[in-house]
Amino acid sequence: MTSKDFGDLEAAGFSGTAPLFPLPNAVLFPQIVQPLQIFEDRYRAMTADVLEGDRLLAMALLKTGWEATIEENDSPIHPVVCLGRITLDQKLEDGRYVLLVRGIARARVISEDTTSRPYRVGQLELLEDRYPQIPVIDRKSRRDELLELFYELYPGDASHQTVQPFLERELGLGALCDLLAYVSHLPAERAASVLAELNVDARSDLVLDEMRSRLRSQQARQRSETFPPDFSVN
């Protein structure tokens, strides 16, 4: 999160609390815009309240085993969430909402408020990226390596259209890792690990390892698809 984002939250009078929207398979990152469809009654009520207020909510990832308690409001969640702001909303005739939510900041859930509302509300501590004073990597080289791997993994992919406008703004390494984790559709648990890692050098390790592993798997699959080779005509 940039200092501007902190200033925006302070200017908006962020109270330190926000509704929690837990999902089983989606992780929001700062600066990323996520489309959502809201259909459960409790989250329709949450959305209505949020739209009348500061338009802020925190997207959380449910932990493994959530199925047993999904009807309750106490399913375990990963403690690091992404605070987001609803930038576009539409209420459909049947009461559902279609939203666009822009990630603003990482945050840690310190506690949950007990309320009469049908949805969860968390006390949040905002979190900033940490760049160690003595880097353990060459950050420019790491940035170049991540981009090279991305383009090698997804040559000509539609994801490039998503990434390119951001790259033209020369994102910092932390924001680049978030963007690549999102457009690469990391499994939710791995994406949650990237979200939770505040040390940007270490975060880039996580994303790099994932992309290298994918490239190895892709290359192995391509080799198996071309074996056995065609017979020679000689």
CATH code at position 37: 2.30.130.40
Dihedral (Cα; 49, 192, 143, 3), 10-degree rounding: 40
Final residue of a structural domain among 104, 127, 150: 127
Segment 138-163 mean pLDDT: 82
Average pLDDT for the chain: 86
Buried b or exposed e, range 114-129, using 16+ CB within 10 angstroms? eeeeebbbbebebbeb
Which pTM was predicted? Answer: 0.85
Looking at residue 91, its pLDDT comes to: 96
Per residue in 25-54, pLDDT tens? 999 999 999 999 999 999 999 999 999 999
Looking at residue 71, its pLDDT comes to: 60
Looking at residue 234, its pLDDT comes to: 45
**Domain check: are 123 and 12 in the same one?**
yes
Region at 120 (left for phi over 0; alpha for psi -120 to 50; beta for the rest): beta
Q: Long-range contact list for 92-97, CB < 8 A, 24+ apart? A: 95/44, 96/37, 96/38, 96/39, 96/44, 97/36, 97/37, 97/38, 97/44, 97/47
In a domain, 165, yes or no: yes
**Domain check: are 143 and 108 in the same one?**
no
Per residue in 45-89, pLDDT tens? 999 999 999 999 999 999 886 554 556 678 899 999 999 999 999
In a domain, 234, yes or no: no
**Domain check: are 82 and 173 in the same one?**
no
**Domain check: are 185 and 122 in the same one?**
no
Looking at residue 194, its pLDDT comes to: 98
Final residue of a structural domain among 127, 152, 174: 127
In a domain, 95, yes or no: yes
In a domain, 57, yes or no: yes
Percent of the chain exceeding pLDDT 70 equals 80
Tokens of 197: 């890692």
Above 80 in pLDDT, residue 113? yes
Final residue of a structural domain among 127, 151, 171: 127
